[in-house]
Amino acid sequence: RAKSQQRGGHFYFSRSMGVEIRERVRLMHALRSGVQRKELFLAYQPQVDLGTGRPFGAEALLRWRLEDGTMIPPDRFIPIAEYSGLIVEIGAWVLREACAELMRLRAAGYLDFTMSVNVSQAQFRHPQFVEVLRRALEDSGAPPEFIELEITESMAMEEPQLLAEMLAQVKRTGVSIAIDDFGTGFSSLSHLQRLKVDRLKIDRAFVTEITGSARGSSIAAMIIQLGRNLGLSVIAEGVEDERQAQILHALGCPLAQGYLFSRPLSPQGLLEWLGAQGVGDAA
């Protein structure tokens, strides 16, 4: 058996790995037809000013609901979309839809509202990306200064030169850039300084730790200080309770999002939530 395993240099994998691979292939096919059947949609999580509690924007989060109602979480299907290349088409749709939603919010009177859109590595690196972004902005009429793209810190690590050039091109469209899940990717700080980013998003993991000990809050405190030193905006994600919000605010973090304020909402739910906060055209 050991011999046959080696013959031809074949990769010998376990039954459970085989099951996992088959499951991924199945999901990939389901995703391809799901895109056609319009099973994907966006949910919007409000972002607020920690000092005043006022909402100033929302993050668009991709959702996939199968015909039978089953929800597949993005952490499960986005890696599959990336590795199958489907993310290019899906990501372009996300951009268009998020821009369209921003325009609907503007039409409802929310003129000072930003929309954050997650962009994955494979999408960002696609040669047509800037063109797709430009088209989404032009076709919708969305003002670029109210659109923010979130890229992950691990993306910021690879090929710094190429990334810097890409970011410069993207920034020329007028949108701003946030680094998502900041603190998890060990990016070089000197590198960060050279990248033209606008905002750091403190990863939920560091927000969760914050109420434990002084040590627990040290990473969040460091990111907030770093943002201040580099002149970058900082937002905390995954804020679930009042105490976390208080500590973040005391540490000087100006912005936040999380279940404490709201879960991700449908477009209608977002309008209702905003209305209940007493902002917008009535304010």
Q: Is 262 in the site for ligand C2E (CB under 6 A)?
A: no
Q: Is 181 in the site for Mg ion (CB under 5 A)?
A: yes
> How far, CA to CA in Å, does 3 sit from each of 8, 12, 13, 18?
10, 11, 15, 21
Q: Is 180 in the site for ligand C2E (CB under 6 A)?
A: yes
Q: Is 88 in the site for ligand C2E (CB under 6 A)?
A: no
Report how many residues bind ligand C2E under the rule CB under 6 A.
Answer: 23
Min dist CB 234 to ligand C2E, Å, is 15
Q: Is 150 in the site for Mg ion (CB under 5 A)?
A: yes
Closest to Mg ion by CB, 110 vs 182, is: 182
Closest to ligand C2E by CB, 8 vs 204, is: 204
Backbone dihedral angles phi then psi of residue 250, each to the nearest 5 degrees: -65, -30
Min dist CB 184 to ligand C2E, Å, is 10
Residues 109-138 within binding reach of ligand C2E (CB under 6 A): 118-120
From CA 13, how far away is CA 9, in angstroms rounded? 12
From CA 59, how far away is CA 119, in angstroms rounded? 12
The answer to whether 281 and 110 are in contact (CB under 8 A) is: yes
From CA 260, how far away is CA 239, in angstroms rounded? 6
**Structure token digits, residue 238:** 């995954």
Cβ neighbours around 108 below 10 Å, total? 15
Closest to 180 (Cα-Cα) out of 116, 239, 242, 250: 116
74 binds, among Mg ion, ligand C2E, none (CB under 5 to 8 A by kind): ligand C2E
Residues 229-258 within binding reach of ligand C2E (CB under 6 A): 237-240, 258
Q: Write out the residues near ligand C2E by the rule CB under 6 A.
A: 45, 61-62, 73-75, 78, 91, 94, 118-120, 150, 180-181, 204, 237-240, 258-259, 264
Q: Write out the residues near Mg ion by the rule CB under 5 A.
A: 118, 150, 180-181, 237
